[in-house]
Structure formats: structure tokens, C-alpha cells
Amino acid sequence: EEKNEGDAQRVEVYFCQKCKKEVRFPRFNNPIKLLETRNGRCGEWANCFALFCRSVDLETRFVIDNADHVWVEIYSNEKKRWIHCDPCENVMDVPLMYEKGWKKELAYVFAFAKDHVMDVTWRYTFDRQKTTKRRKQVRPIVLINFFNKLNARLQKNLSSERKKVLEERFLAEIVEFILPQNNLRKKSEENQGRNSGSLDWKVERGEAGIDSCVGDSLVPIMITPSQNEIDSKCFEIIYDASKDEYSRTNDTNLSTKKWESQIYEVENIFRKIENDWKKAYLARKQGKEKGFLVWKINLKDLKIKQIEICVNSFKVENGNVFGIVCCGSQCQRLKPNGIIKLDDIKEADYLELRLELSGGNGENSWQHSQLFRTDLNNSEPGLKIKVEFE
């Protein structure tokens, strides 16, 4: 019924961690059906907005990128060019917002109209050299030939007047793409992060923008054992990726949310949730060769009996996970079983744990090395740092 009425090609199921209920979310593609449901994300917004534009006789394109976002372009007879419109973000004519503001690493952006298709990647990117390096899924000449054949088929029955209009616009658009400076706009939205969606979701996707990105704005955290932990002669901190939470075994009042809340230093890392596989883990950002995290624990004036660290990691396809812990004059690398033990520590001001992710093959190499991978519904601690005091 959902497929017939609303052209729902798939149905997503979401599980609420608070109320423990599942919610069905049919991804309707028919904009008429969406006017009834009034529910959806960027795809549904773009679908409805395209319908409205077409209804008032505006020439409209439906635009999709390789990184899971869609929007619309409309042709301006006054400006003689196609205008970027993102109805989900309430933004118009700010094409570099995704690259500069959201920090998206775009490779392919395609625009679909009723009588033509167009590779518009160069409207939405400024760093042409980096963009070109990311375009590895198909050889350029093959892509160009495919688009030419597809356009010839779409325009087969068009009038000569319409064909001439499309040809003139095509040439003007190619000229526009030559200089990346043509994409710049004097608007503050160019550097803004994503508006739609929760902050957690935007940070997870790396689309929250400059001000809220983990890294440059991170305040280094030196974890300090509390008096309760010192009195119990045991400091233990545990991170659970499914809950995105740190817990303290001997001082529950010091539990904190967010993986970055106890980090001393980090680069190119984010938390990934796989709703289809029901998994959560930390990984390096897509397109980055390496990512790392550092935890630092203040041990000044404390007598240490023993340190034990357990790290749950996951590697496939030549992915690499490198770990090293240093305390006082001792340093040890992470063993294959993910366990590090240190004893006979005479004096140390702090304990430092550094984990690095690298390696892997192909476009999904960032997924080939993971930290703290666990089930969403049956989680296990991914990181445990335990320090026993004398």
C-alpha cells in the first residue's frame, strides 16, 4: 500500500532509546503523498519544494550529491543562471555552504531536470584539485559520454527552439564552472554549519560547521581521580559507544555523555551509528588518511600499584589500529588482544593513552579500522582504563 500510494521504495525503522519503542518511517517519493504526511528529511523537503516550483512554472532541477544530501536548483531568467535552493536549510544561492560550512568532501553532484541532466559538481566546490582527486568512481570520459547519451535520449522529441535554449545554457554553465571564484557569495551562510537535525546527529556526520566541529575548538581535558576513587584505591573509567557515555566505577556522579567530553586531544574522529547493522563505533572521518585520540589522566602525587587498559578495536582490509600508553618512564604498545598492563611504576605525573586509526582500501577505507564497536541494543564497554593505587 505504501509503495503504491506514495512510491515508498524502502521503510526505515527507528528505535527510541528512551521509550524503547520502534517507529516506522516510510521514505515516500511521491510529493503529493508528502503533502499529506508532512514528515521527512532533506529528500522529502526537496521533493515537495520541486513540486511547488514546477507548479508555478519555474524551471527546476532536483540535485543530489554523493554524500547523502539533496536540494533544488531553479533557473533565473534575470541572472541567466541556475540558482541553488536548499528548502530544508531555508537557504538560497549559497553553493559553497556544503564545502565551506558543513565541511563536506564532495566528489559528485548531479542535477536532474525534466529534459536534461548535468554534472554540477564544480558549482558546489572551490578546491578543484582536492575534488578531482576524490572523483575516482568512474573515468571522466565515461561519465561525459554517458551524460551526452542520456541527454540525447531525453531531448529526442524536443523542438529545435528548446534544444537551442538548452545548448546555450549548457555552454554558459560550462563557462561559469571554469573559475571557482564564480561560486563565492558575500553571505554569512557560506560558512555556517547545518541547521536541520539535532546537534548530535550533525556532529556525527561532520556537518555541524566551524564553531561546533570537534578539533580546533576542543578544550583539552585532563581527567583527575576524585577523592572517592583515591579512597577506594581504584580509579576506573569506562566508555560505551552505544550510549556514547563515560562511567566512573567508584564515583558514579562523574559520568559524562559524549565521547569527546573526556578527550585531551583529537583529530579527524567521529562517532558512527549504523542503524541497519545496529552498531556504534568511533572511526576516522571519510577521506582522511589518519585520525587519532588522546586521553590524559592526572596521577600527580599518587602512588600507583598497577595500570590495566582494555581497548576493543576492529580491523579489516588492511585497516590499522595503533595504540600506545605512557606513564612515567614506561611506554607500551597496544597488544593484538587490546590489553596493556603496567606495573612497577615508581613515579608519574600522568598517564597518556593515544590511539590512531589509519589504512584500509578504497572509498570506504575509513570504515576498515574502528574503535569500541558494539551493538546498539546489547552494548559492551569499548574502553576501560583502570588504575589501582597503593
Whose cell is 578531482? That residue is 132
Q: What are phi and psi of 259, to 5 degrees?
A: -60, -30
DSSP conformation class of 104: -
Report whether 157 contacts 185 (CB < 8 A): no
Whose cell is 561560486? That residue is 183
Radius of gyration of the chain (CA): 26
Phi/psi region, residue 40 (left: phi>0; alpha: psi -120 to 50; beta: rest), is left
Catalytic residue among 69, 84, 116, 368: 69
Among this protein's residues, is 368 annotated catalytic?
A: no
Among this protein's residues, is 213 annotated catalytic?
A: no
* Chain centroid, CA 329 distance in Å: 38
Among this protein's residues, is 53 annotated catalytic?
A: no
Catalytic residue among 48, 53, 86, 119: 86
Residue whose C-alpha is closest to residue 354's, from 298, 300, 291: 291
Residue whose C-alpha is closest to residue 367's, from 278, 273, 295, 294: 273
Catalytic residue among 42, 48, 53, 88: 42
Report whether 80 contacts 170 (CB < 8 A): no
* Span between the terminal Cα atoms of the chain, in Å: 68
Q: 119-149 burial, b if ≥16 CB within 10 A, otherwise e? A: bbbbbbbbeeeebeebbeeeeeeeeeeeeee
Report whether 355 contacts 292 (CB < 8 A): yes
Whose cell is 567508584? That residue is 250
Query: How far apart, in whole angstroms, are the C-alpha atoms of residue 208 and residue 298?
Result: 31
Residues catalogued as catalytic: 42, 69, 86
